[in-house]
């Protein structure tokens, strides 16, 4: 027996159905906002993440799966997808050929060597978007609102959207100076991580979760007192757009996020399930001012956001938001006897070619065992074929919800099913 590696997990059966459902809803919302899919490699040059995510972040300092390949190149399993996605836009020269903004959505596994705990894995799935090429409060608001809608469609109520602005360069230079002075008085008594952050990335001290440090952080200078006129105006415009569409938010001046490329507005979606479980932020993102240029592209800005599918699935399971998404089979086919088995085998193939999901019992089972199988597969109808049916060139169709059954000629079968499933809003009718 081999166990899965620590921090990884198998996504199978119902769990996989849940993931597909969540991914499908998110994808649909993005497509409806004219986002296009980007699939970039899982392995990238380590340097890409040093440049983008930042060499002072926890992700780059402690969490990357980095190795030398056989050609002695330093390779990293991507810890996030924004860097690769923006790199792909630059490489494909999309900023020269396409209308701005370039809108991308992505889905795939990421790797971070973190301590595994509730809602935290070493391999996890992220769904996200990047909207690149436009510096506009409208675009920042669009991304925030789009995911707010997507989460509503998934059934989330009582979402908590935390939002902050890191201001522009002038804001951050002045603010960092003030923080430097303030934390300078206390840093000796703060945690080891904060000592490190004090030297490398002082803003990240604001994110520290250590109780004793929180008290010191609570009295630190407030970022909002340092906004330049321009960054205050920009932030207010984003907030006003959220107000106009009725998206509720909470301004959190200590929200910094763990990736260095963010510059202006940053945000996170939080949710506590009814039983009080909190798996950490469901998703988060923000505006980036320098990333595109840093990766060799033109001087364009962007905004992005990413969600962890594991966390979404966990809270949705806790709050029964995934109930009733099971599709079940359209049909379960039951042959009675050897001769019928062969006809049913052929019939099964014919029905799937016509778009009806089905399964056929090819093992020797009695009638009641076959009905049990149909039930376990959540089949809507059973198709029964015995000697008589073969002789008469027909099948028996039984509606498993109402128990009504009818004999239908093989030549009329698809027409009959189309009508039956049409009544139940079957997807064949929608196409």
Burial class (CB in 10 A: 0-12, 13-18, 19+), 326: exposed
Helix (H, G, I), strand (E, B) or coil at 136: coil
Binding mask 326-365 for ligand AMP (x = CB under 6 A): ----------------------------------------
Specify the stretch interacting with ligand AMP by CB under 6 A; choose among 69-77, 91-99, 115-123, 244-252. 115-123
Nearest distance, CB of residue 112 and ligand AMP, angstroms: 5
Element (H, E) at 427: helix 427-430
Nearer to ligand AMP, 203 or 370 (CB): 203
Nearer to ligand AMP, 305 or 336 (CB): 305
Greatest distance between any 2 Cα atoms in the chain: 93
Nearest distance, CB of residue 218 and ligand AMP, angstroms: 24
Report d(CA 105, CA 110) in Å as an integer. Answer: 15
Nearer to ligand AMP, 58 or 213 (CB): 58
Report d(CA 404, CA 401) in Å as an integer. Answer: 8
Report d(CA 330, CA 328) in Å as an integer. Answer: 7
Q: With beta carbons less than 8 A apart as the criterion, state whether 283 and 308 touch.
A: yes
Binding mask 251-290 for ligand AMP (x = CB under 6 A): -------x----------------------xxxx------
Nearer to ligand AMP, 8 or 352 (CB): 8
Q: Does 131 bind ligand AMP (CB under 6 A)?
A: no
Nearer to ligand AMP, 237 or 277 (CB): 277
Q: Does 64 bind ligand AMP (CB under 6 A)?
A: no
Nearest distance, CB of residue 255 and ligand AMP, angstroms: 11
Nearer to ligand AMP, 126 or 358 (CB): 126
* For helices 229-244 and 137-153, angle between their N-to-C axes, nearest 10 degrees: 30
Nearest distance, CB of residue 7 and ligand AMP, angstroms: 8
Report d(CA 85, CA 301) in Å as an integer. Answer: 14
Which of 275, 321, 293 has the alpha carbon at shortest distance from 25? 321
- C-alpha distances in Å from residue 71, one per residue of 42, 50, 68, 76: 18, 20, 7, 14
Size of the site for ligand AMP (CB under 6 A): 18
Nearer to ligand AMP, 112 or 380 (CB): 112
Specify the stretch interacting with ligand AMP by CB under 6 A; choose among 19-27, 118-126, 138-146, 406-414. 118-126
Q: Please pick, from the candidates 46, 126, 148, 358, the single residue that binds ligand AMP as defined by CB under 6 A.
A: 126
Specify the stretch interacting with ligand AMP by CB under 6 A; choose among 96-104, 120-128, 240-248, 289-297. 120-128
Nearer to ligand AMP, 113 or 182 (CB): 113
First to last CA, the chain: 46
DSSP per-residue string spanning 156-218: --S-EEEEEE---HHHHHHHHHHHHHHHHTTGGGS-HHHHHHHHH-GGGGGG---HHHHHHHH
Q: Does 85 bind ligand AMP (CB under 6 A)?
A: no
Which of 147, 119, 116 has the alpha carbon at shortest distance from 306? 147
Report d(CA 51, CA 390) in Å as an integer. Answer: 69
Q: Please pick, from the candidates 9, 33, 120, 290, the single residue that binds ligand AMP as defined by CB under 6 A.
A: 120
Angle at 37 between CA 126 and CA 131, to 5 degrees: 80
Q: With beta carbons less than 8 A apart as the criterion, state whether 415 and 428 touch.
A: no
Nearest distance, CB of residue 40 and ligand AMP, angstroms: 15
Q: Which residue of this chain has its Cβ atom nearest to ligand AMP in the complex? A: 308
Q: With beta carbons less than 8 A apart as the criterion, state whether 109 and 233 touch.
A: no
Angle at 130 between CA 125 and CA 133, to 5 degrees: 165
Nearest distance, CB of residue 309 and ligand AMP, angstroms: 8
Nearer to ligand AMP, 228 or 278 (CB): 278
Nearest distance, CB of residue 307 and ligand AMP, angstroms: 6
Binding mask 287-326 for ligand AMP (x = CB under 6 A): -------------------xxx-xx---------------
Specify the stretch interacting with ligand AMP by CB under 6 A; choose among 35-43, 121-129, 347-355, 390-398. 121-129
Nearest distance, CB of residue 4 and ligand AMP, angstroms: 15
Q: Which residues bind ligand AMP (CB under 6 A)?
A: 80, 112, 114, 119-121, 124, 126, 258, 281-284, 306-308, 310-311
């Amino acid at each position: 027996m081999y166990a899965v590696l620590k921090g990884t997990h198998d996504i199978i059966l119902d769990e996989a159905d849940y993931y597909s459902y969540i991914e499908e809803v998110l994808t649909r919302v993005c497509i409806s906002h004219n986002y296009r899919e980007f699939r970039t490699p899982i392995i990238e040059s380590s340097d890409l993440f040093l440049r983008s995510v930042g060499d002072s972040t926890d992700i780059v300092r402690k969490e990357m799966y980095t190795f030398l390949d056989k050609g002695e190149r330093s390779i990293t399993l991507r810890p996030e997808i924004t860097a690769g996605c923006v790199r792909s836009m630059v490489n494909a020269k999309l900023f020269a050929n396409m209308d701005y903004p370039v809108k991308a959505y992505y889905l795939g596994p990421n790797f971070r060597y973190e301590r595994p705990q509730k809602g935290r894995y070493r391999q996890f799935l992220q769904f996200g978007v990047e909207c690149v090429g436009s510096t506009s409060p409208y675009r920042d608001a669009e991304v925030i609102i789009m995911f707010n809608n997507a989460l509503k469609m998934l059934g989330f109520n009582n979402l908590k959207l935390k939002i902050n602005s890191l201001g522009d360069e002038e804001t951050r230079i002045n603010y960092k100076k003030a923080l430097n002075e303030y934390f300078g008085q206390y840093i000796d008594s703060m945690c080891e991580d904060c000592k490190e952050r004090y030297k490398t990335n002082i803003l990240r001290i604001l994110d520290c979760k250590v109780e004793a440090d929180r008290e010191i952080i609570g009295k630190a200078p407030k970022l909002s007192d340092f906004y330049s006129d321009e960054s205050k105006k920009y932030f207010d415009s984003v907030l006003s757009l959220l107000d106009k569409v009725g998206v509720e938010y909470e301004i959190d001046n200590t929200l910094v996020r763990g990736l260095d490329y963010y510059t202006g507005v940053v945000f996170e979606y939080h949710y506590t399930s009814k039983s009080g479980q909190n798996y950490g932020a469901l998703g988060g993102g923000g505006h980036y001012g320098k990333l595109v240029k840093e990766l060799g592209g033109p001087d364009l800005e962007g905004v992005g956001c990413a969600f962890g599918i594991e966390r979404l699935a966990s809270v949705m399971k806790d709050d029964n938001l995934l109930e009733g998404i099971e599709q079940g089979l359209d049909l379960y086919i039951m042959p009675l006897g050897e001769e019928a088995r062969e006809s049913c085998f052929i019939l099964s193939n014919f029905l799937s070619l016509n778009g009806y999901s089905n399964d056929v019992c090819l093992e020797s089972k009695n009638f009641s065992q076959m009905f049990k199988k149909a039930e376990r597969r959540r089949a809507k109808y059973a198709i029964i074929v015995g000697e008589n049916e073969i002789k008469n060139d027909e099948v028996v169709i039984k509606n498993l919800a109402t128990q009504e059954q009818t004999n239908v000629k093989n030549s009329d079968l698809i027409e009959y099913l189309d009508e039956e499933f049409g009544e139940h809003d079957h997807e064949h009718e929608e196409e």
